C-alpha cells in the first residue's frame, strides 16, 4: 500500500511540515540539545517556556523516533490530497492545539496534590514501582518531543477512511497492507514508553474530535478565507486608486483647458487670423480656438504645446 503518487505532489503542507520537523531535529542534535527536549510540569505550568512548546511540535527526541515519525507523516500526505491543502492545514492546527491542551491537562492531573499523595503511598507500600517517581520531580520530562499529536490524530481517518486493498497470511496470522503503518505507529508510540504513550493517546483523542466534526471544524477553511479576504481587499484598493487617478486626470484637464465648444459654434475669423499671423496654419488655429472656446491666449498655449510634442 502506498500514499498515492511518489513525492510530495499535491501535498505542499505536508512537505513543509516534514522538512521543518527534520531540520529542527537535526539542528538540535548537532547542537547537543535532544536532552533538553520534552515537556515537564515546570515547563508547562510553573515556569512556561514558549520555545519548548514550539519545539515540541516539530523536533523529535531521537533519531529512531524521527525516522518512524517522518515516515508516517510522509505516508499521511494522502489525507492532504483527499481533502485539499487548506482543510489539511486546519486539521494540523486543530490536532496540534487540541492534543497539546490534552497533554497540559494530563500533566496537571499527574502533578496534582491527589496524585502526589497516591504516588507517595504507593512508593511506601511497594518499592518495586519506584519507576513512577519521575512524576514527583517537577523538572522531569513527562512528555517526549515531536509531532505526536498530528501523527496519531492521523490514525483516526486512516482507520476509518483508508480501505484495505490486500490481505495476506504469515504463519497463520492475518495481515493487511495497512498492518505496516500500524506497526510503525506502535513502534513510535512505545519509543519513549510512558513519555510517548501519553502524547499518542492525546493525539488520538484530538483526531476523534476532528472526525466528530466538533464546531463544524471539518468544513473550516481558515487559510483560504484569509487569502480570499486579503485578495478582495487588495482588489478594492487597486480599483479605488485607479478611480482616484482617473478623477484627478479629469480635474487637471478641466482646469488646464476649457471644455470644447459645440460643433456648430465657429471661432471668430479675426481670432483665426491672429493665430495664423503668428505662424500657425489655419486648420490647427481653428481647432485650437474651438477647444479653447475662442480664447486666443489658451489657443496659443494649446498650439505651442502641440509643437513641443
pLDDT at residue 132, rounded to an integer: 45
Kindly compute the dihedral angle of the four CA atoms of residues 181, 38, 138, 42, in this order, to the nearest 10 degrees.
Answer: -120
Q: Is the pLDDT of residue 272 over 80?
A: yes
Can you tell me whether residue 168 is helix, strand or coil? strand
- Over the stretch 153-168, which tens digit does the pLDDT of each residue have? 999 999 998 888 788 8
Report the share of the chain in percent with pLDDT over 90.
27
Kindly tell me the sign of the dihedral angle through the C-alpha atoms of 293, 294, 295, 298: positive
pLDDT single digits (tens) 86-139: 999 999 999 999 998 998 888 878 765 444 454 455 445 554 444 444 444 555
Is the entire prediction scored with pTM above 0.75? no
Helix (H, G, I), strand (E, B) or coil at 266: coil
- The residue assigned the cell 499518542 is 200
Over residues 187-237, the pLDDT tens digits come to 999 988 888 899 999 999 999 999 999 888 888 875 444 544 444 454 555
Three cell numbers, residue 203: 493525539
The per-residue b/e assignment along 272-296, b for 16 or more CB within 10 angstroms, e otherwise, is bebbeeeebeeebbbbbbbbbebbb
pLDDT tops 70 at residue 28: yes
Of the candidates 219, 184, 180, the one whose C-alpha atom is nearest the C-alpha of residue 69 is 184
Bigger pLDDT: 72 or 169? 72
Q: Is the pLDDT of residue 151 over 70?
A: yes
The x, y and z cell numbers of residue 159, run together, are 482507520
pLDDT at site 288? 86
Where b means 16+ CB within 10 Å and e means fewer, 7-27 reads ebeebebbbebbeebbebbee
CA 273 to chain centre: 74
What mean pLDDT is reported for the chain? 77
CA 274 to each of CA 262, 267, 277, 290, 295: distance values in angstroms, whole numbers, following the listed order: 22, 12, 5, 14, 11
pLDDT at 185: 94
Greater confidence (107 vs 72) lies with 72
What is the rounded CA–CA span in Å between residue 302 and residue 288?
Answer: 6
Query: Which of 25-39, 124-138, 249-263, 286-300 has the least mean pLDDT?
Result: 124-138
**For the chain, what is the largest distance between any 2 Cα atoms, rounded to a whole number of angstroms?**
124
pLDDT for the residue numbered 211: 93
Amino acid at each position: 500500500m502506498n500514499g498515492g503518487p511518489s513525492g510530495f505532489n499535491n501535498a505542499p503542507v505536508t512537505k513543509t511540515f516534514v522538512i521543518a520537523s527534520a531540520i529542527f531535529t537535526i539542528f538540535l542534535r548537532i547542537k547537543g540539545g535532544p536532552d533538553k527536549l520534552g515537556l515537564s510540569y515546570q515547563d508547562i505550568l510553573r515556569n512556561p517556556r514558549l520555545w519548548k512548546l514550539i519545539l515540541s511540535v516539530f523536533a523529535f527526541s531521537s533519531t529512531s523516533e524521527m525516522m518512524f515519525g517522518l515516515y508516517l507523516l510522509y505516508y499521511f500526505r494522502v489525507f492532504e490530497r483527499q481533502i485539499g491543502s487548506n482543510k489539511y492545514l486546519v486539521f494540523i492546527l486543530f490536532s496540534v492545539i487540541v492534543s497539546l491542551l490534552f497533554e497540559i491537562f494530563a500533566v496537571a492531573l499527574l502533578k496534582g496534590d491527589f496524585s502526589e499523595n497516591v504516588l507517595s503511598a504507593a512508593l511506601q507500600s511497594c518499592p518495586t514501582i519506584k519507576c513512577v517517581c519521575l512524576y514527583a520531580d517537577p523538572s522531569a520530562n513527562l512528555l517526549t518531543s515531536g509531532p505526536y499529536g498530528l501523527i496519531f490524530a492521523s490514525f483516526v481517518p486512516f482507520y476509518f477512511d483508508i480501505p484495505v486493498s490486500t490481505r495476506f497470511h504469515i504463519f497463520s496470522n492475518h495481515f493487511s497492507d495497512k498492518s505496516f503503518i500500524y506497526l510503525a505507529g506502535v513502534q513510535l508510540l512505545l519509543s519513549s514508553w510512558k513519555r510517548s504513550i501519553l502524547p499518542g493517546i492525546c493525539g488520538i483523542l484530538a483526531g476523534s474530535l476532528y472526525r466528530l466534526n466538533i464546531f463544524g471544524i471539518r468544513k473550516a477553511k481558515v487559510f483560504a478565507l484569509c487569502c480570499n479576504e486579503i485578495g478582495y481587499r487588495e482588489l478594492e484598493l487597486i480599483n479605488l486608486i485607479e478611480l482616484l487617478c482617473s478623477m484627478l486626470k479629469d480635474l487637471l484637464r478641466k482646469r488646464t483647458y476649457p471644455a470644447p465648444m459645440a460643433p456648430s459654434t465657429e471661432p471668430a475669423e479675426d481670432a483665426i487670423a491672429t493665430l495664423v499671423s503668428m505662424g500657425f496654419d489655419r486648420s490647427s488655429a481653428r481647432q485650437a480656438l474651438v477647444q479653447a472656446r475662442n480664447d486666443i491666449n489658451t489657443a496659443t498655449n494649446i498650439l505651442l504645446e502641440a509643437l513641443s510634442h
